[in-house]
Amino acid sequence: MSVSVESHVSRLANDPGSISDEVNAFLASSKKLFINGEWVDSRSGKTFDVNDPSSDRVIASVAEGQAEDIDHAVAAARQAFEDSEWSRMKPVDRERLIHRLADLIEEHADTIAELEALDNGKSVVIARHVDVKLAIEVYRYMAGWPTKIEGQTLPMSGALLPDQSFVGYSLREPVGVVGAIIAWNFPFLLASWKVGPALAAGCTIVLKPAEETPLSALYLAKLVDEAGFPNGVINVVPGFGDTAGAALSSHPDVDKITFTGSTEVGRLIARAATGNMKKVTLELGGKSPTIVFGDVDAETAIAGAASAIFFNHGQTCCAGSRLYVHSSRFDEVVEGVSNIAKGLKIGPGLDPETELGPLVSTVQRERVMSYVSQGLADGAEAVVGGHAMETEGYYVEPTVFINTTPEMSIVREEIFGPVVVAEAFDDLDEVAAVANQGPYGLAASIWTKDISTVHRLAPKLRAGTVWVNCHNVLDSTMPFGGYKQSGWGREMGKESVYAYLESKSMCISI
């Protein structure tokens, strides 16, 4: 059985006629690097093309930053970090500036959402009500922090010099110049997770967006310019990973590197950071379990399990890509999730009806399809899906696998597409053990009405976030990140602000 796409095919590409005047004007404008408050060409003069994933059409050309441009941007960020305009800015004024940026984002939210949909392939409705909305909240939440960053007083006993008296206290100071390297799945939102706390802490930033999706970061730079940040506080340098990204993560004058992307590249970044012992925050991959118990309300759990995997076409680090269902409800839940998959409206991002858009790139479609083919070759059964679509765009059918075994790559590895593996379980300890299998530990969801089940299972799960009767719920107050190989540190919340701060102990003999 497979999804029939024939009837949708003519609608799978975005209609260029439906692009707004604002977005057309932005696409037509020259897209340079934003360094030291100025738009500059790359030193090499090179550019790269940006494609619409629904049609493979080239929609923009962007200046390509490389090592020399990273040097230029890092020097600007260093100068801005040391310059008194930023370093001595009163916390309340830093707050005001971050709010000003949030105001401008809010003012241009529809344009940013449209740009994001066009560049990434996601639905414009999701881009507006998830990506851009949450980014605004992150900036506003972070705007509240500059006035609340505090040290402590330390009641010293002075054991080493008992005849003297001391006053001890600690200060929190910005870590310095931050390099931020982000992925393409939530481009504008991921930028906020890095730029927001870095600004709140008083750092300066060089942001390298993903080569697949540089447009909303350049739009952010336009708003940064308008908001009136001192030159060099925020710099945006689009470019590729092995050139611009590698130069940023190994740069001797960058104090902290923060990254969202694959575990493989996270490892390279952690290694590159050892040169000058940068502070490192990594938000990496996942293979998160959705765990459905026998007592659930079927409709809620089925809709939740489907959304856990198909949201953002499965290109979500915390996607519920392993579905574990109590054997008493397995057939019903798998059938329900498969029916939702069959009914998803597949289409381009700019169509507001779209529920499942194309993947971000041909590379990503091939990567996902190679997992799907391997799963089929290994003997798993696709209840629904199992194919790419015969279109110019990068579409893959939503796919539900059963009859899997733990050794299969579709069960063990992050696929990052609309593909879920479903397995039955019988008791809590058994499902805790399988849920914890594998190298990742980003998130998990538990679906049950029984509060004891929640409290018995949650402590056993090695995951940075445990959702109960929900999945993929993110909040600016809630630290997000992974156990095991899903990363180092947390994004959002107080913990992320403190990840951009150094602690200085003050010891005064009086």
Could you list the active site residues? 283, 317
Closer residue to ligand NAI, CB minimum distance, 137 or 283? 283
How long, in residues, is the chain?
510
State the number of CA atoms in the 13 A half-sphere of 17 facing the CB: 0
* Cα–Cα distance list, 18 to 114, 349, 350 (Å): 10, 11, 8
Answer for which of 120, 249, 338, 445 binds ligand NAI (CB under 6 A) is 249
Answer for which of 245, 348, 375, 464 binds ligand NAI (CB under 6 A) is 245
Cα-based torsion angle of the residue sequence 412, 413, 415, 420 in order, rounded to the nearest 10 degrees: 10
* Cα–Cα distance list, 207 to 15, 40, 150 (Å): 31, 15, 27
Answer for which of 145, 324, 416, 500 binds ligand NAI (CB under 6 A) is 416
Question: Among 313, 258, 302, 360, which residue's Cα sits nearest to residue 130?
Answer: 313
Closer residue to ligand NAI, CB minimum distance, 202 or 482? 482
Restricted to residues 148-167, the positions that interact with ligand NAI (CB under 6 A) are none
Q: What gap in Å lies between CA 134 and CA 127, rounded to an integer?
A: 10
Answer for which of 137, 211, 355, 491 binds ligand NAI (CB under 6 A) is 211
Report residue 344 as tokens: 């998803």
What minimum distance in Å lies between the beta carbon of 391 and ligand NAI? 20
Answer for which of 93, 242, 390, 426 binds ligand NAI (CB under 6 A) is 242
Task: For residue 431, give the amino acid letter.
Answer: V
Closer residue to ligand NAI, CB minimum distance, 245 or 385? 245
Four-residue CA torsion sign, 13, 19, 23, 28: positive
Residue 388 interacts with ligand NAI (CB under 6 A)? no
Helical (H) or strand (E) element with 421: strand 419-425
Residue 241 interacts with ligand NAI (CB under 6 A)? yes
Residue 498 interacts with ligand NAI (CB under 6 A)? no
Closer residue to ligand NAI, CB minimum distance, 246 or 499? 246
What minimum distance in Å lies between the beta carbon of 249 and ligand NAI? 5
Q: What gap in Å lies between CA 73 and CA 234, rounded to an integer?
A: 9
Closer residue to ligand NAI, CB minimum distance, 172 or 313? 313
Residue 179 interacts with ligand NAI (CB under 6 A)? no
Answer for which of 169, 240, 483, 498 binds ligand NAI (CB under 6 A) is 240
What minimum distance in Å lies between the beta carbon of 153 and ligand NAI? 40
What minimum distance in Å lies between the beta carbon of 24 and ligand NAI? 26
| Percent composition of the chain: helix, strand, coil (DSSP 3-state, to 5) | 40, 20, 35
Restricted to residues 39-78, the positions that interact with ligand NAI (CB under 6 A) are none
Q: What gap in Å lies between CA 62 and CA 28, rounded to an integer?
A: 11
Report residue 507 as tokens: 């010891």
What minimum distance in Å lies between the beta carbon of 396 and ligand NAI? 12
User: Strand 440-441 to strand 483-484: parallel, antiparallel, or no bridges (unpaired)?
Assistant: antiparallel
Residue 473 burial class via C-beta count within 10 angstroms: exposed 0-12, middle 13-18, buried 19 and up:
exposed
**Residue nearest ligand NAI (C-beta atom):** 241
What minimum distance in Å lies between the beta carbon of 428 and ligand NAI? 28
Q: What gap in Å lies between CA 207 and CA 236, rounded to an integer?
A: 5
Q: What is the DSSP letter of 457?
A: H
Count residues near ligand NAI (CB under 6 A): 27
Closer residue to ligand NAI, CB minimum distance, 262 or 403? 262
What minimum distance in Å lies between the beta carbon of 440 and ligand NAI? 10
Contact between 257 and 288 (Cβ < 8 Å):
no
Closer residue to ligand NAI, CB minimum distance, 109 or 282? 282
Q: What is the DSSP letter of 356?
A: B
Closer residue to ligand NAI, CB minimum distance, 136 or 183? 183
Residue 121 interacts with ligand NAI (CB under 6 A)? no
Helical (H) or strand (E) element with 334: helix 330-343
Restricted to residues 254-273, the positions that interact with ligand NAI (CB under 6 A) are 260-262, 265, 268-269
Restricted to residues 454-493, the positions that interact with ligand NAI (CB under 6 A) are none
Question: Among 436, 3, 35, which residue's Cα sits nearest to residue 224?
Answer: 35
Residue 284 interacts with ligand NAI (CB under 6 A)? yes
Restricted to residues 347-366, the positions that interact with ligand NAI (CB under 6 A) are none
Residue 187 interacts with ligand NAI (CB under 6 A)? no
Closer residue to ligand NAI, CB minimum distance, 241 or 336? 241
Q: What gap in Å lies between CA 140 and CA 156, rounded to an integer?
A: 37
Restricted to residues 395-414, the positions that interact with ligand NAI (CB under 6 A) are 414
What minimum distance in Å lies between the beta carbon of 254 and ligand NAI? 12
What minimum distance in Å lies between the beta carbon of 248 and ligand NAI? 7
Residue 181 interacts with ligand NAI (CB under 6 A)? yes
Radius of gyration of the chain (CA): 24
Contact between 383 and 400 (Cβ < 8 Å):
yes
Where on the phi/psi map is residue 129: left (φ > 0), alpha (ψ -120 to 50), or beta? alpha
Residue 246 interacts with ligand NAI (CB under 6 A)? yes
Answer for which of 285, 304, 358, 464 binds ligand NAI (CB under 6 A) is 285
Q: What gap in Å lies between CA 121 and CA 116, rounded to an integer?
A: 8
Applying CB under 6 A, the residues found at the interface with ligand NAI are 181-185, 208, 210-211, 240-242, 245-246, 249, 260-262, 265, 268-269, 283-285, 317, 367, 414, 416
